[in-house]
Structure 1
Amino acid sequence: MTQRFTNIAEVLADLQAKVQSKPLEKQKKPEKPGEDEYECPICKDTEFVYYKQKSTNGLLYEFSKPCECRERKAWKRRFKQSMIPDEFLNANFENYQRVTQSQKVMYQMTLDYLNEFSVVEEEDGTKKKVLSQANFGLIAVFGEQRLKELPVGERAMVKQQHNNFGIGKTHLQIALSKRLIKDGFNVLVVSDVTFMDELIQAKMMNDEGETLNRLLKSAITADVLIWDDIGKAKWSEAKETLYYQIINERYRKQRPIVFNSNEDRGTLADKIGFAAASRLLGQCGDFLLETEGEDWRLKKKGAV
């Protein structure tokens, strides 16, 4: 028979009675994690191994030392924080195609630039990271913006003569970033269009500049900033200001920028501003290469 209630008080009283009439289930204590639940069973994921040792006066002291997994986990953290694009996760020096002369020159220059970095062990056992004092840039001989300004009928021929797309610039610089990460350097990889859009959106947010400052800080303070396809974003005065802010701060702090672009010296300056381009290109020294060649992305798809 269905029970009927005349008011809400009776409903609540009935529910309370039902709850009190049911026996409470005993809660199980959480089990202690087994050895197989830790990534590293030696240190139990603390990254330190603790041990005790008696001194000459018989007192027992506790010491710790870094676990063998510490550097491996640190490498994984740096790799994750670098923001390497998914399509380049497998890019390395070993699988870079070196068929044409331009590919060989780019490859050798990248290796020469890698030698500009080192990790020096100090007398106290700490390690000091030595950064290159130069930027490293791979840019076009004939920029994309210049190509777009040509009459439509001339573009295809000029692009074929001075192609800068799909020649392996990004592949090489991602391979460089992986080697630097492995050596202990903090690397940040940004793609120009996405990065500039994020900065502009952050600039418009009503959060007292918190998001914008966080993005700028990550780009300015990284040991090495890998800037892919710089100058690709559509120009605006706000973006030009941001380009200058990042490039100038890294210039002042002597932190290198590794960049590639489908623009040439002149058109890159048009896209990011003359002051920013002067600092970016001027700090390259011998590590600025104007390059062109066959589009290997099209070749893989059978388009050429």
Structure 2
Amino acid sequence: MSLPDWFPRSSSAIDPAADLCPVCQGTGFEYDPIKRRSRRCLRCRGGSESLLERARIPARYRESSFDNFRVNPDDERQKSLVTAVLACRRYVKDYPVERGLGLLFLGPCGVGKTHLAVATANALMRLKRVPCLFYDFRDLLKAVQETYNPLTQTTELSVLRPVYDVDVLILDELGAGKATEWVRDTITHILNTRYNEQKTTIITSNYLDQPSDRYDETLEERIGVRLRSRLYEMCKTIQMFGEDYRQTYLNKRLLMQS
């Protein structure tokens, strides 16, 4: 499979000048014409490092990039994975996308959905200084639930305000956990708020629209008809299929040890 000319083979293929904030040129400060003095740059708030610190990316995925996503362009079985990487690179190149269009990664466990979702966010923060925020679907719901405890000092709005406002939200494992009416109502409210504000949302889910096993639930069954319909407008769907990388890696380790 041949790759397009714009597909970078390594990080060195990226123009270093693109890593500079267009407002402060990488200094971290801009001029305030009203107060007539320098202030911390409102666009990048001091650079990509501070954005990365605030993004809540799990340690396991913090170094995820397009370059370290393991895929073989010559393997026909990995065609969907190659297509996914190409789509993500193009998405970063074209960002911001009209009407806050996000990405929805669908596929079975272990094919690299979270890796590519975070790699996209990392590229947006590093190359375009776009604030991002990562949340596991279950952790977000748990954080909201904890605000109902009268002993806590946090409010529901204090948890959700960053989720509503951030330029790019990465919501991992959508549909995981028990699908109660409260869960559906809460996540529908969150995503509808972001949709109305034209905010970008990048989502991953193990639930497919057309599962290979008739006993598997569909994404629509997990999150409801209304929200699945909304996601068609909010996100470009990226289908990923292949072997479970974790299982393949474990089998190779066991084979080497035997």
Runs ≥4 residues deviating over 4 A: 46-50, 63-68, 207-210
Instruction: Give the C-alpha shift of residue 170 in structure 1.
Output: 0.7
Q: Is 1:75 equivalent to 2:48 in the alignment?
A: yes
Which residue of structure 2 aligns with residue 201 of structure 1? 146
Give the number of the structure whose alpha-carbon radius of gyration is greater: 1
Which residue of structure 2 aligns with residue 269 of structure 1? 220
* 1:164-215 deviation per Cα after TM superposition (whole angstroms, max 9, x unaligned): 111111111111111111211111111111111221222x223899521111
Whichever residue aligns with residue 300 of structure 1, its letter is Y
Gap change, CA 1:262 and 1:49, over 3 Å in 2: closer
* 1:139-178 deviation per Cα after TM superposition (whole angstroms, max 9, x unaligned): 13xxxxxxxxxxxxxxxxxxxxxxx111111111111111
Which residue of structure 2 aligns with residue 91 of structure 1? 64
Query: How many percent identity over aligned positions?
Result: 24
Q: TM-score, normalised by structure 1?
A: 0.62
| Residue aligned with 1:260, SS | strand
Which residue of structure 2 aligns with residue 138 of structure 1? 105
1:281 corresponds, among 232, 243, 257, to 232
Contact 2:44 2:130 (C-alpha < 8 Å) held by counterparts:
no
Tell me, in whole angstroms, the C-alpha distance in 2 between the residues paired with 1:208 and 1:298: 40
Tell me, in whole angstroms, the C-alpha distance in 1 between the residues paired with 2:240 and 2:30: 51
Structure 2 runs not aligned, ≥5 long: 1-26, 73-77, 211-217
Number of aligned positions between the proteins = 210
Gap change, CA 1:208 and 1:176, over 3 Å in 2: same
Structure 1 runs not aligned, ≥5 long: 1-45, 51-62, 119-129, 141-163
Tell me, in whole angstroms, the C-alpha distance in 1 between the residues paired with 2:98 and 2:131: 11
Gap change, CA 1:72 and 1:210, over 3 Å in 2: closer
Contact 1:131 1:256 (C-alpha < 8 Å) held by counterparts:
no
Instruction: Give the C-alpha shift of residue 281 in structure 1.
Output: 2.7
Tell me, in whole angstroms, the C-alpha distance in 2 between the residues paired with 1:177 and 1:246: 19
Which residue of structure 1 aligns with residue 181 of structure 2? 237
Instruction: Give the C-alpha shift of residue 277 in structure 1.
Output: 1.8
Q: TM-score, normalised by structure 2?
A: 0.72
Gap change, CA 1:108 and 1:132, over 3 Å in 2: farther
Gap change, CA 1:192 and 1:49, over 3 Å in 2: closer
Tell me, in whole angstroms, the C-alpha distance in 2 between the residues paired with 1:212 and 1:292: 37
Whichever residue aligns with residue 190 of structure 1, its letter is Y
CA-based RMSD: 3.0
